[in-house]
Amino acid sequence: MKKLISFALILTLSLALFAMLTGCTENATTENDPVETSDAAPTGEAAAPTDEDDDTGQPLPVKDELIIGFTSIPTHFDPLQSGSAGVLLFSSLIAADADMNIVPDLAESWEISNDGMVYTFNLRDDALFTDGTPVKASDVVFSYYTIMNGATSTDLSIVESVAAADDSTIVITLKQPRSVFLLTAAEVYIAPEHLYNDDFGLNPVGSGPFKLEQYNADEQFILTANEAYYAGAPAMKRVVFVKMDSEDVRLAAAQSGQVDITLTSAVTAAGVGEVPGYYLLVEESVDNMGIALPFTLNEGEINEYGAPVGNDVTGDIAVRKALSYGIDRQKICDDALSGFASPAYSENDGMPWSNPENKIDYDLDLAKKYLDDAGWIDEDGDGIRSKDGVRASFALLYFANDSVRQAVAHATAQQARDNLGIEIDVDAAATADFAATMYSTPIILAWGSSNPMTSYYLFHSSNAGKDDWYNPENYRNATVDSYLDQALNAKSLEESYEYWKKAQWDGITGTSLKGDAAYVFLINKKHLYWAREGLNTGRQKIHAHGDAWPLVANLKDWKWEQ
Amino acid sequence: MKMKVLPAEKRPNRRAMIGIVCVLIFLILITLYIVGASMNELLFEPDFSQKLLPPTMKHPFGTDFLGRDMFARTIKGLSLSMFIGATASGAAAVIALIVGIVAALGKTWLDHFLNWVIDLTMGIPHTVLLILIAIATGRGITGLIIGISLTHWTGIARIIRGEVLQIRSRRYITASRKLGKSRLWVAVRHILPHMIPQFFIGLVLQFPHAIMHESGLTFLGYGMPPETPAIGIILSESMRYLSAGMWWLAFFPGAALAIVVLLIDKLGESLKLALDPASAQE
């Protein structure tokens, strides 16, 4: 027992001591002292090869190397088997630029048939795999068929056939028109047929801007520039991705000058203020967070997973409307994310297929009017409304360990209680526990992608009430369904925009907060990174959900500035 | 310098001193528990205008990332820990008492079997077994209590079994049996009363163990849900903010836990001095 006690005491004291020390280093670093941090030890090995370039404070020749403190190291790089780093090591037929325009990649041009079913791509002739062989149409056909025959990277079930008309012409025939097919094709990376085998994931050979030099599972991987890249070799000649999976390690690495760029969080960024020699890179995202509100009343229904469906409070549109209009989103951004977020009004703010009408103004009076008109009145004077004996009260779940969602949930709950008279009990649950509760209990969920298909999954009734997280609230609206179908089956992406927008709000109904408000979107997270001064990360696409890979998607455009 | 030996009547009475210490510690702990258990949850409500403040007069332990008052959360967490610790170590002591007596009085094969179970339980690393049981029994407070009591009875059971074996060989036990009293009668009338001190000392000394394991398990994420103001939760949350220099989030709750554990341990040691026949007359 004695041992245990002294252990506890020592643990506590050393913890406190450590805490106070780190509290002090914060001040120390502002005077530009090099700080010794034991936490940085695991990264020392990886950083060692570039040490000579990495001493802070000395004037350097133009650097062409980069060290990234990365949240996770992929287990393989096979782009056909949803390996990460596809965009860095491989090319696809086409790509989407920062404005979500479709631009050429391996294909220098393409035509779409009038019925929107046949896509013809003309390959450029100067693209080489890094083993020196040219990228041929047969490689494209091979890659598509490997995915269609069961590889897992992309859903290509819409594709009927892929054929090589000649060495540089590919004809893809769809089963039916699919407006988003070009966006899908932009995510299909091309692997060389003659080198593809079971070990390809660890020995990837692509035609992208970088090639894999070294890979240490769970530690780091190193990319070097592909000098033969058809669009010009990237400015960064060697890029080291070091695994840093905890916020402490990443911060310590930045404070000791061991990385050139690494992820940080709103809490750390606000708490630490600044790291000398670094600037805070703030990237906008569609990484949105909102509440999925069960769309139907609880009528005792039990679904195919054995879970109850519906909620008597959120099943009332007045409550959902009140939450849409009566929550001050900017205040949540300030409260929960120290201002490192912006208000969200849909799952796709800022995308070309987002309806500008989605944005609504914070209007507490309107929100209260919705509740009053629907008969939600505070009868017993406890500050919480009720209607026909049902209290305006529901639980709001978030994933345990996600402190951002926790903070957003509490910030929302507070406003709902104080301003609207709606009681929200915030509670955490393990991911596995949601199976039984998510069809009847509101959850904080996060979405955001650079493909409008997300809207289809989120709101089309064919996907309602499934256990894939998209539509646990059981949202169904026939009008929205028809717009979504039209959008998906439109003959081109541009043509589909109008229907995606109408599905959100057509003036009468829609998925947006003005319409059915099944999802009350609250905030778009900003993605934050400590970046060494002088590092130019180029013009980035609006980041999708997830803050690691979207950052480096345009790594080929990064450069050091004098 | 010569030690000056006071005459016996002027020496402070050691048992009285121990008694006072015990009562004092007990009062402190019970006050802490009552204050925490009856605390209004509004006292540690999120208040974003007050988030991440260092300790002040208004918030002696500072506030966390949701602006919750850490002093109130810590007290609440300690009372929760004490409740779980008391329940679990109480249950563990009862298990130990039953097992110990049955092992010592029953058939030989039963004794062998129970000894084997004790060895088995002690052989598996505590924390691993605890995590397995806590998860299997549904996490949360119930899982923790079951897990802790099922892993913490072995030590006391061994002591009790040893004591029983010793007492069983006494003449008056043999006499009582020869006079026709049943095993049960002998166990209840002659043996159980001797076990009471061991039982209570074991219980109290197991208490801090239980609290530490409760916090440890919760810290690791196998214990109570994140919205509970438990010390383990508070400490694991604080880890995220240490590097940003917010030391108070870990320091005060950790120190408070250590102090409570030390107090209970002191209580147990004092009880042992006062009750254990071997040391009571020192």
**CB crowding A210-230: b at 16 or more within 10 Å, else e:** bbbeebeeeebbbbbbbeebb
- Is position B15 within any domain? no
B54 has a pLDDT exceeding 50: yes
Closest CA to B192 of B84, B100, B73, B115: B100
- All residues of chain A having their beta carbon less than 8 Å from the beta carbon of residue B65 are 267, 403, 407
- Is position B44 within any domain? no
Which neighbouring-strand residues pair with A223? Answer: A212, A239
Written as six digits, the tokens of A434 are 């949601």
- B205 → chain A, closest CA residue: A1
- Is position B124 within any domain? yes
Instruction: Give whole-number Cα distances, A321 to A314, A396, A511, B241, in Å.
Output: 10, 17, 12, 36
Q: Do the chains contact at A414 and B254, CB–CB below 8 Å?
A: no
Give B200 or B279, the one with higher predicted confidence. Answer: B200
- Is position B38 within any domain? no
What span, in angstroms and rounded, lies between the C-alpha atoms of B165 and A261? 68
What span, in angstroms and rounded, lies between the C-alpha atoms of A412 and A417? 9
A104 has a pLDDT exceeding 50: yes
Tell me how close the Cα of A16 comes to any Cα of chain B, in angstroms.
5
Helices (H), A416-546: 434-437, 453-459, 478-489, 493-504
| Contact criterion met (CB below 8 Å) for A94 and A109 | no
The amino acid at residue B177 is R
Other Cβ atoms within 10 Å of A324 Cβ, number? 27
Which neighbouring-strand residues pair with A224? Answer: A211, A238
- All residues of chain B having their beta carbon less than 8 Å from the beta carbon of residue A253 are none
Q: What is the DSSP letter of A377?
A: B
pLDDT digits (tens, 9 = 90+) for B64-119: 989 999 999 999 999 999 999 999 999 999 999 999 888 877 788 999 999 999 99
Among A76-85, A181-190, A447-456, B143-152, which stretch is predicted with the lowest mean pLDDT?
A76-85
| Contact criterion met (CB below 8 Å) for B77 and B200 | no
Tell me how close the Cα of A134 comes to any Cα of chain B, in angstroms.
49
| Contact criterion met (CB below 8 Å) for A140 and A124 | no
A31 has a pLDDT exceeding 50: no
A213 has a pLDDT exceeding 90: yes
| Contact criterion met (CB below 8 Å) for A541 and A554 | yes
Any B CB within 8 A of A428 CB: yes
If DSSP codes are grouped into helix, strand and coil, which group holds residue B250?
A: helix
pLDDT at B117: 93
**Residues 6+ away with beta carbon under 8 Å from A429:** A397, A398, A399, A400, A437, B225
Total number of domains in chain B: 1
Sign of CA dihedral A46, A52, A55, A59: negative
| Contact criterion met (CB below 8 Å) for A284 and A350 | yes
| Mean pLDDT of all residues belonging to chain A | 86
Locus of tokens 């519906």? A310
pLDDT digits (tens, 9 = 90+) for B244-267: 788 999 999 999 999 999 999 999
pLDDT at B223: 83
CATH of the domain at B146: 1.10.3720.10
Locus of tokens 């048939």? A113
pLDDT tier at A83 (50, 70, 90 boundaries)? low
Distance of CA A411 to the CA centre of its chain: 22
Model's pTM, two decimal places? 0.82
Among A103-117, A390-404, B16-30, B95-109, which stretch is predicted with the lowest mean pLDDT?
B95-109
Partner-chain residue, chosen from A9, A248, A410, that has the shortest CB–CB distance to B66? A410
Which domain covers residue B120, as residue numbers?
A: 84-280
Among A38-42, A52-56, B143-147, which stretch is predicted with the lowest mean pLDDT?
A38-42
pLDDT at A44: 37
If DSSP codes are grouped into helix, strand and coil, which group holds residue A281?
A: strand
pLDDT digits (tens, 9 = 90+) for A406-445: 999 999 999 999 999 999 999 988 887 888 889 999 999 9
pLDDT tier at B7 (50, 70, 90 boundaries)? low
| Contact criterion met (CB below 8 Å) for A273 and B52 | no
Sign of CA dihedral A8, A11, A14, A15: negative
Any B CB within 8 A of A403 CB: yes
CA angle (A482, A524, B236) in 5-degree steps: 125
| Mean pLDDT of all residues belonging to chain B | 88
pLDDT digits (tens, 9 = 90+) for B9-46: 666 677 788 889 999 999 999 999 999 999 998 889 88
Locus of tokens 């299997």? B136
- Is position B100 within any domain? yes
If DSSP codes are grouped into helix, strand and coil, which group holds residue A220?
A: strand
Mean pLDDT confidence for A457-470: 91
Closest CA to A456 of A475, A441, A439: A475
pLDDT at A20: 42
pLDDT digits (tens, 9 = 90+) for A290-329: 999 999 999 988 988 889 999 999 999 999 999 999 999 9
The predicted complex's ipTM stands at: 0.79
pLDDT at A132: 93
Q: Do the chains contact at B243 and A268, CB–CB below 8 Å?
A: yes
pLDDT tier at A247 (50, 70, 90 boundaries)? confident
- Is position B230 within any domain? yes
- Is position B60 within any domain? no
- Is position B269 within any domain? yes
- State what percent of residues in chain B have pLDDT above 90: 43
**Residues 6+ away with beta carbon under 8 Å from B22:** B267, B270, B271, B274
